[in-house]
Structure 1
Amino acid sequence: MAKKGPSIPGFVAVSDQILVQETQNDAERPANHPDAVLIFGWGDCLPKHVAKYADGYRELFPHSKQIVILAPISKAFFTDLQSRSDSMLPILKVLDSMKASSGRTPTILAHAMSNTGGTNYASTLNAFKLKYNEPLPHQLLVLDSTPGSPYMTWANLKRWSRAMTLGTAAWFPWPFFITQSIWAMVLCANIAVGWVTGREAPAVFSIRAIDDETFESKSARRLFLYGKGDDLITWDDIESYRALATKKGYKTDGEMFEGSGHVGHMRMFPDKYWNAIQESWDQAINTKP
C-alpha cells in the first residue's frame, strides 16, 4: 500500500513536503494583498498544526495563494544543500505558473518558523538563485522564533536535542531523556562528519544566506517575532541577528511576546501576532522606512 501523503483541507500535496492551496481567482485579489504566501513550518510540524497559520493568513489575505512547506528534521539537517534545494523546486514551479498566468512577478510574503523552517526557506533562496541567478523576489520575510545561534555549544546541544526529541518522543517507548541523549549523539556525529568533509551546516548556511544580497534582496522587509519565554531559541540571539541585519541595510521590524514559548506566540497572542504581520506587510508594500 502506498504511503499516504500530507493532507490539509483545501490544499493539494505536490510533494511529501509541499502543499498548495487549491485554485484561487486572481481577478478577485486586492492589489494590496500578496499574490502568494509561503508558510515554512517548524521541525516535524504536523499538517493540522501548521494549518492554523494558513487559517490566519486566510483571514488577513483571503485571495492570496498559499504554499505550505512541511519540515521533517531529518531532511532539513541530515541532507546536503543541493538535496534540500531540490526539495523546494515545486515552490518555484507554482510561482512560475503564477507569473505566466498574470504576466508579472507575483508579490510574495514568506513566513519561516523555527530554525528548521528557516533552513527550508534558505534552501528555497538557493534553489531560486541556482535557476535564475538572482534573489527570490519578495516583499516581506516573517521570522517566527528564528534565527538562533547555529554553532555547537553545550547549551545549544541541549536545546537542539530537546527540540528533536519533542518531535519524535512518541515513536519510542523509553523515557524522554534517553531519546534526547540519542539525538545529542546523532547531532554530535553529524557535526563531526561536517567538520571532516568541510560541509557547511544547514543552519550556518541559512543565517549566511538571509543576510547575503545575492540570496536575499535588501528591497524586502523582515519581521522578527520572538519571546523571552522561548526555551529553544533565545530572544537575545534573535535581537542580535536583527541588529546585524539592520546594520547591513535590511529594513526590519520586531515584536516581542511575553509568556509564550517556542513557535507559540500566535496561539497565545493572536491579535498582536497578526496585527504585527499586517503592519509589516503594509510597510513593505508602501516602502516606508
Structure 2
Amino acid sequence: MAALSDFSRVNEIVLVRSPASEDRTLSAEGSLSSRSSKTTLAGGGATPETILLLSWGDAAARHIEKYTSMYTKLYPGAKIILVRGGVADFLYRWDRAQRKLVEPAVKILSESADESTLLVHVMSNAGSKTWSTINKLYRESTGRPLSNAVTIMDSAPGRWRFGQTWTALSRSLPRAFLPRMALSFVFGMILSVIQLKDFLTPGLDILDAVREQMNDATAAGKGARRCYIYSDADDIIGTGDVEEHAKEAQQKGWAVELVKFQGSTHVGHYKQNPERYLESIQKTWFGRWNN
C-alpha cells in the first residue's frame, strides 16, 4: 500500500485524512463539510477534533506516515490536515505562491476547527515556515492567531545559519552523483546570496521573522500551551535556539514545557523513544505536565 494512501490530496502540499466514521465531502478548494461526534477519553477530557501536521523539509511520504499513523492510533476521531514543507519555501517560492498553496488548509481550519479543539504539530524549520504562512492567512480569515492552539514544536524553531541550513538542504538532494553535484552548486550559490543579502540589508532574516511571529506577545491567549521536543545531538537545530525561544514564549504568556532527548537525531525523537514522545503530546494536550 502506498504511503499516505488514506489521505485525500488537495494540492501538491496539502493532504487531508478524515475519520472513517465521518460523513464528508472534500472539494479541490479544500472546503470540507462533515458530521462527526466529539471524541472523549475516559475521565471526560475531549481529544483533538483536528490535527494540523506541518512536516519537515521535503520529507518522504513513508517517513511522514510514521507520524500520521501515530496520530491515527492516538486520536482516531480526529481529522488530520497534513501540509508538507520544503526547500522551495526558503529558496525560490514567492510568498504569494506559498500563501496560495496553504489556502485550502486555512479554509478547512476556518470552517471546521477552533483553537480549543485544534492540535498543531510543527516539525523543523520547514514546518515553522509553513506555520508562519498559515498563521497569517488564518488570522486574516478568523481574526484569531494560530498560536493559541495547543502546539508541539519538534526540532524547532532554529536560526538561519549557513552550516546548519546547508546540512538540512543536503538531505533533500538526490543520491545520484551528477544531479547531487549540480544541485549542490545551485543551492550553495543561492545560500550565499541569501547570506550576503542578510548581511547587507537591515531587518530580520527568514527564520528570525518566523520566530518573532510565533512569539507575538499580542497573540498569547490564556491557557495557550506549547511543548518543545528537541535533542542535544541535533545537527540542524541548536538546543540554545530552542531553549531561548521557549523562554521568551513563557515570558510572553504561553505555558511551556521543554522535553529534551539525549542523543536523538533531527526529528528523530519519536523513533528513539516513542513512549516518551507520545506521553509528551498527551500531557501537553491535557495540560498535565506536573502529573
Q: TM-score, normalised by structure 1?
A: 0.83
- Residue 158 in 1 paired to residue 163 in 2? yes
- The CA deviation string for residues 18-47 of structure 1, in whole angstroms up to 9 with x for no partner, is 100035532152261111001100001112
Work out whether residues 119 and 150 of structure 2, in 8 Å CA contact, stay in contact via their aligned partners in 1: yes
- The CA deviation string for residues 166-198 of structure 1, in whole angstroms up to 9 with x for no partner, is 11132652677x855542321121344567787
Partner-residue secondary structure (3-state), 1:142: strand
Query: What's the offset of the Cα at 1:84?
Result: 2.3
| Divergent runs of 4+, >4 A | 178-182, 193-200, 214-218
Work out whether residues 88 and 123 of structure 1, in 8 Å CA contact, stay in contact via their aligned partners in 2: yes
Residue equivalent to 2:111? 97
Identity %: 24
Distance in 2 separating the partners of 1:214 and 1:223: 20
After the TM superposition, which residues 165-180 of structure 1 pair with which residues of structure 2 at under 5 Å, given as runs? Answer: 165-170=170-175, 172-173=177-178, 180=184
- The CA deviation string for residues 249-288 of structure 1, in whole angstroms up to 9 with x for no partner, is 211011111111100001111111111111111108x9x9
RMSD of aligned alpha carbons:
2.8
After the TM superposition, which residues 37-76 of structure 1 pair with which residues of structure 2 at under 5 Å, given as runs? Answer: 37-76=51-90
Aligned length: 272
- Residue 16 in 1 paired to residue 12 in 2? yes
Aligned amino acid, residue 61 of structure 1: Y
- The CA deviation string for residues 90-118 of structure 1, in whole angstroms up to 9 with x for no partner, is 1122123325xxxx776100001000101
Aligned mate of 1:223, from 222, 227, 252: 227
Work out whether residues 231 and 262 of structure 2, in 8 Å CA contact, stay in contact via their aligned partners in 1: yes
Q: Per the alignment, do residues 239 and 105 of structure 1 end up closer, same or farther by CA in structure 2, a change over 3 Å counting? A: closer
- Residue 269 in 1 paired to residue 273 in 2? yes
Residue equivalent to 2:159? 149
Q: Per the alignment, do residues 275 and 105 of structure 1 end up closer, same or farther by CA in structure 2, a change over 3 Å counting? A: closer
Q: Per the alignment, do residues 79 and 175 of structure 1 end up closer, same or farther by CA in structure 2, a change over 3 Å counting? A: closer
Aligned mate of 1:111, from 79, 100, 121: 121
Q: TM-score, normalised by structure 2?
A: 0.83
Residue equivalent to 2:133? 123
Consecutive unaligned residues of structure 2, counting only runs of 5 or more, are 23-35
Query: What's the offset of the Cα at 1:159?
Result: 1.3
Q: Per the alignment, do residues 196 and 229 of structure 1 end up closer, same or farther by CA in structure 2, a change over 3 Å counting? A: closer
Work out whether residues 111 and 143 of structure 1, in 8 Å CA contact, stay in contact via their aligned partners in 2: yes
Distance in 2 separating the partners of 1:254 and 1:106: 22
Q: Which moved more, 1:18-27 or 1:226-235?
A: 18-27
- Residue 247 in 1 paired to residue 255 in 2? no
Q: Which moved more, 1:60-69 or 1:82-91?
A: 82-91
Distance in 1 separating the partners of 2:147 and 2:162: 35
Work out whether residues 162 and 195 of structure 2, in 8 Å CA contact, stay in contact via their aligned partners in 1: no
Q: Per the alignment, do residues 105 and 169 of structure 1 end up closer, same or farther by CA in structure 2, a change over 3 Å counting? A: closer
- Residue 86 in 1 paired to residue 82 in 2? no
Q: Per the alignment, do residues 116 and 14 of structure 1 end up closer, same or farther by CA in structure 2, a change over 3 Å counting? A: same
Work out whether residues 173 and 180 of structure 2, in 8 Å CA contact, stay in contact via their aligned partners in 1: no
Work out whether residues 147 and 219 of structure 2, in 8 Å CA contact, stay in contact via their aligned partners in 1: no
Work out whether residues 35 and 106 of structure 1, in 8 Å CA contact, stay in contact via their aligned partners in 2: no
Aligned amino acid, residue 14 of structure 1: V
Residue equivalent to 1:259? 263
Q: Per the alignment, do residues 144 and 218 of structure 1 end up closer, same or farther by CA in structure 2, a change over 3 Å counting? A: farther
Consecutive unaligned residues of structure 1, counting only runs of 5 or more, are 1-5, 151-155
Distance in 1 separating the partners of 2:207 and 2:168: 14
Q: Per the alignment, do residues 232 and 211 of structure 1 end up closer, same or farther by CA in structure 2, a change over 3 Å counting? A: same
Residue equivalent to 1:3? none
Work out whether residues 147 and 207 of structure 1, in 8 Å CA contact, stay in contact via their aligned partners in 2: yes
